[in-house]
Amino acid sequence: MPVFDFDHMSKTQDPEQAESAWDVFYSDASEATPENPILILDNQGEQWDHHTCGLFTSPVRGTAFEFKDGNRTVRGDILKIDARFVSLIRWLGESHINVRLSGENGKEGYAVCRIRETAFGKGAKLSAEDGFLQFMIERLFASSAPSETEEEEETEEGDDMKLTSLQSITDFMTCAGKTLPDHIRLWARRNLAVAKSHEVSPEERRHAQRALSIMMNVRWKHDYFEAIDPVEARKILDEELYGMERVKQRIIETIIQINRTHTLPAYGLLLVGPAGTGKSQIAYAVARILKLPWTTLDMSSINDPEQLTGSSRVYANAKPGIIMEAFSMAGESNLVFIINELDKAASGKGNGNPADVLLTLLDNLGFTDNYMECMVPTSGVYPIATANNKEQISAPLMSRFAVIDIPDYTPEEKKIIFSKFALPKILRRMSLRPEECILTDEALDMAVKLHSNTSGIRDLEQAAEHLAANALYQIEVDHLEKVVFDGKMVRELLG
């Protein structure tokens, strides 16, 4: 079985006749362990050091690792390799990159768990960007089973790495381009050709490179969602919300649906209710339950569809839209998209209706940004919208959501929320003990009565902060041990 090696090839050897010397195995592991390594090297029964510095040879279909052990050169063929890392190992060999392997000796050979780039003199580097190799390895691990890789030793942090230079983008496409969806990979190749071409204007090259950097730094994940513990979800909802049993039940039903199908529901949530009733807080709780990053979009500040869709690259000041920037900031394609004040979205100023732009995003069929000029997958996007008045939302938009009406709180509920949640939270924030700021039942009734005409609990939280601040003032300035508020004192302070 011939193995083609640039360093030891005879002049008559045909590289196309070379065969692979390794076995490829397929793994969904999100990190390497001695039992599930990146690759296994043939150490011929020797006990190699935990850290081994050297380089991969550069064959066509198989490879080996060479390193110095005293005065002798040791060479170990690769016996097995994780299929996700085949392109990366070949690229390291072809580029003659000095690396340090970390692993353990086992029955099969030397199991490699970590690969780090090392700098020797003026040796070639894989990329002009620091941390690129670790960034790429982490992306490869996330390609099949998305999970954060824990760093056990001091190395470059891949999460801090951003693909910005053409060199790093090119290297990433070569070594880990298969982690991208097919249509994005083809789009990236075309834009990379534009960014490197001298037949287009510098402005076109700059736009192409910027678009590539945005797209490559997003982790395009599968739309498969792991099961969520309903008990833990209910605990989170109870921590964030008092009452609202119908709302909590609807959210738990959504969780059960995800557990059965392992995909997001076809429809997002539309939370409709008076201001201050906790609609945004519900959205953040759902994002916490789903363990997804979240981004917010305030529709009251959008008056032009181009703010959402981006502008064409024909303009010198072109830039991507808010939706594409949200993907970039989240760093991944699976996220909770919180759309605030959806009922304010129907007021465009002559350039079209911004609300119409949301339809393609909500359909989960993909969204196209005018600057990126590429369809962005949205199957992993879970939209949650908030509104005060659903009568002002167009029928096409309403049909994309499961509507949940958020009722206002009763006076009794407001009293419980004020005494059990709002005031204790404020006291902890001001470093006050509960026994230092006390409200009688008469004082609680008065606080709620003074805010009976306001919707939600936002005004009650402000009232709690006013009372706690007054108590703190009396304790610090008047040197009181505690402050007990009665109804008259509350009326004087808040009335």
Q: Who contacts 169 (Cβ-Cβ below 8 Å, separation ≥6)?
A: 163, 188, 192, 195, 209, 212, 213, 216
Confidence of residue 71 (pLDDT cuts 50, 70, 90): confident
Mark whether 288 and 179 lie in a shared domain.
Answer: no
Look at residue 207 in the predicted model and tell me its pLDDT.
Answer: 93
Mark whether 195 and 265 lie in a shared domain.
Answer: no
Question: For the chain, what percent of residues have pLDDT higher than 70?
Answer: 87
Q: Coil, strand, or helix at residue 146?
A: coil
Q: Does 59 have pLDDT greater than 70?
A: no
Look at residue 270 in the predicted model and tell me its pLDDT.
Answer: 92
- The answer to whether position 434 is within a domain reads yes
Q: Where are the beta strands (DSSP E) in 250-306?
A: 268-272, 294-298
- The answer to whether position 225 is within a domain reads no
Distance CA 56, CA 5 (A): 10
CA atoms 38, 159, 163, 130: torsion sign: negative
Question: For the chain, what percent of residues have pLDDT higher than 90?
Answer: 25
Higher-confidence position of 234 and 344: 234
User: Which residue pairs from 344-347 have beta carbons closer than 8 angstroms and sit at least 24 positions apart in sequence?
Assistant: 344/299, 344/300, 344/392, 345/299, 345/302, 345/393, 345/397, 346/392, 346/393, 346/394, 347/303
Look at residue 21 in the predicted model and tell me its pLDDT.
Answer: 64
| Full-model pTM | 0.66
Q: Who contacts 1 (Cβ-Cβ below 8 Å, separation ≥6)?
A: 19, 21
Q: Does 453 have pLDDT greater than 90?
A: no
- Look up residue 168 and give its amino acid: S
Question: Average pLDDT over the chain, rounded to whole?
Answer: 82
Look at residue 58 in the predicted model and tell me its pLDDT.
Answer: 56
- The answer to whether position 386 is within a domain reads yes
Per-residue model confidence as pLDDT tens digits over 236-277: 888 877 778 888 898 999 999 999 999 988 888 999 988 877
Q: Give the domain extent around 197.
A: 127-148+159-217
Per-residue model confidence as pLDDT tens digits over 132-181: 888 888 888 887 533 333 334 444 444 455 788 888 888 888 888 888 88
Mark whether 240 and 386 lie in a shared domain.
Answer: yes
Per-residue model confidence as pLDDT tens digits over 101-114: 999 998 889 999 99
Q: Who contacts 462 (Cβ-Cβ below 8 Å, separation ≥6)?
A: none
> Domain of 321: which CATH number?
3.40.50.300
Look at residue 369 in the predicted model and tell me its pLDDT.
Answer: 92
Per-residue model confidence as pLDDT tens digits over 334-344: 999 999 988 88
List the beta bridge partners of residue 405.
Answer: 272
Question: Per the structure block, which two tokens stand in for 195?
Answer: 């960014």
Number of folded domains that form the chain:
4
Mark whether 237 and 384 lie in a shared domain.
Answer: yes
Look at residue 18 in the predicted model and tell me its pLDDT.
Answer: 41
Distance CA 289, CA 334 (A): 14
Distance CA 479, CA 96 (A): 73
Distance CA 338, CA 384 (A): 5
Mark whether 299 and 397 lie in a shared domain.
Answer: yes
Mark whether 165 and 74 lie in a shared domain.
Answer: no
Q: Does 3 have pLDDT greater than 70?
A: no
Look at residue 118 in the predicted model and tell me its pLDDT.
Answer: 79
Q: Does 20 have pLDDT greater than 60?
A: no
Mark whether 94 and 210 lie in a shared domain.
Answer: no
Look at residue 186 in the predicted model and tell me its pLDDT.
Answer: 94
Distance CA 106, CA 280 (A): 53
- The answer to whether position 222 is within a domain reads no
Mark whether 136 and 45 lie in a shared domain.
Answer: no
Per-residue model confidence as pLDDT tens digits over 360-417: 888 878 889 999 999 998 888 999 999 988 888 888 888 989 998 888 788 888 888 8
Distance CA 458, CA 493 (A): 17
3-state helix, strand, coil in the chain (%, to 5): 40, 20, 40
Question: Per the structure block, which two tokens stand in for 116?
Answer: 């780090």
Look at residue 103 in the predicted model and tell me its pLDDT.
Answer: 92
Mark whether 466 and 488 lie in a shared domain.
Answer: yes
Mark whether 344 and 415 lie in a shared domain.
Answer: no
Q: Does 208 have pLDDT greater than 50?
A: yes
Buried b (16+ CB within 10 A) or exposed e, 110-121: bbbbbbbbeeee
Q: Who contacts 145 (Cβ-Cβ below 8 Å, separation ≥6)?
A: 28, 29, 30
Q: Does 311 have pLDDT greater than 60?
A: yes
- The answer to whether position 224 is within a domain reads no
